Amino acid sequence: MYNRFSDISKFILHSDRLKVVNNYEVYISNEEDHDIYVDIEDYNFKPTEDEKLSQSKLDKYSNNLNIVPQAFDLLKPLIIDVARSICKLDNLVQEYNKEMDNSYDYSIYGDDDFHYELPYVLLKKPSLVILNYVGCRINTEFHVIFEYEHNAFYFKSFGLNKTLLEKWQNFEIRVDR
pLDDT in tens, 97-153: 888 776 555 545 555 678 899 999 999 988 999 999 999 988 999 999 999 999 999
Give the tens place of pLDDT for each residue, 88-103: 999 999 989 888 776 5
> Are 27 and 11 contacting, i.e. CB atoms less than 8 angstroms apart?
no
Please determine, for residue 167, whether its predicted confidence score (pLDDT) is greater than 50.
Answer: yes
Give the tens place of pLDDT for each residue, 36-78: 999 998 876 655 554 444 444 444 444 444 555 667 888 999 9
**Cα distance between residue 15 and residue 112, in whole Å:** 37
Helix (H) or strand (E) holding 130: strand 128-135
| 123 closest CA partner among 31, 24, 15 | 24
pLDDT for res 151: 93
The greatest distance separating any two alpha carbons of the chain, rounded to the nearest whole angstrom, comes to 63
| 84 closest CA partner among 154, 152, 168, 142 | 152
Q: Is the pTM of this model over 0.95?
A: no
Strand partners, 153: 148, 173
pLDDT for res 63: 47
